Amino acid sequence: MTFLRYVLALTLAFAGLAPAQAAARARTAILVVQQGGPNFASDAKVRDRLTERGFTVQIEDQAADPEGAKGADLIVLSSTVSAKDVQPGWRQLKVPLVTWENDFLDDLAMTGKRHDVDFGEAEKERYLWIVNAPQPMAAGLPAGIANVYVKQAPMSWGKPGLGATIIATLYGQPEKVAIFGYETGATMDYETLAPARRVMLFLGNDGFSNLSASGLKLFDAAIDWAVATK
């Protein structure tokens, strides 16, 4: 290499080449599941979708120590976990988190503690009612009814705190919120402040495999919003 080429290479590096390479680093996602459980095939499809969207995905069992996720860009907590086997430290992590495990919402301080009152699961549902169409988590879907499942299946829901941004409810059941999120610093339940963005989705254990085109858009939008910067 000639001296001039050497100087040019140094100039390019200091002008931003190294930062550009750093920016191209794949984002990391921790997917918390019940490893070896009966619904792991659905969790594998979630992993594949996240990978397609640019994440390096690390699957962790439900009993994993939350401390190991501190350096991640995203935490995804599947409903295939058994809430009693999940460590409580996920609530405090300053990492964006998306979940569809309704039975863990109270542990995350995203809802109150009363089962079937503050959170729960509807047995046979197919439609949502979009109530906040302009918000990015609505994925550009119009206000009103949205067919999000290919066929009827269970849907998770919760009743979030006053600091939540509500996107959709179960169709015909406005008190059961199917998609909601908390901005960083927003007040959740028990006067807890969200340490990073938090999102609740409506999926059941096999819900991802049953998503319609509209449902998949909502899933992607929830992930995008969770990791986006303001």
For the chain, the average pLDDT equals 90
Distances (CA, A) of 112 to 45, 61, 149, 217: 30, 25, 27, 28
Question: Which single residue is written with the structure tokens 């096999």?
Answer: 206
Question: What is the structure's pLDDT at 230?
Answer: 67
Instruction: Please compute Rg for the chain using Cα positions.
Output: 19
How do residues 46-103 score in pLDDT, each as one tens digit? Answer: 999 999 999 999 999 999 999 999 999 999 999 999 999 999 899 999 999 999 999 9
Collapsing DSSP states into helix, strand and coil, what is residue 191? helix
Looking at the chain, the whole-number percentage of residues with pLDDT higher than 70 is: 89
- The answer to whether the predicted template modeling score (pTM) of the entire model surpasses 0.75 is yes
Domain 3-227 has CATH 3.80.10.10: no
User: Amino acid identity, residue 141?
Assistant: L
Strand ranges, E, within 62-133 = 74-77, 97-99, 119-125, 127-130
Contact at 8 Å (CB) between 55 and 31?
Answer: no
Collapsing DSSP states into helix, strand and coil, what is residue 112? coil
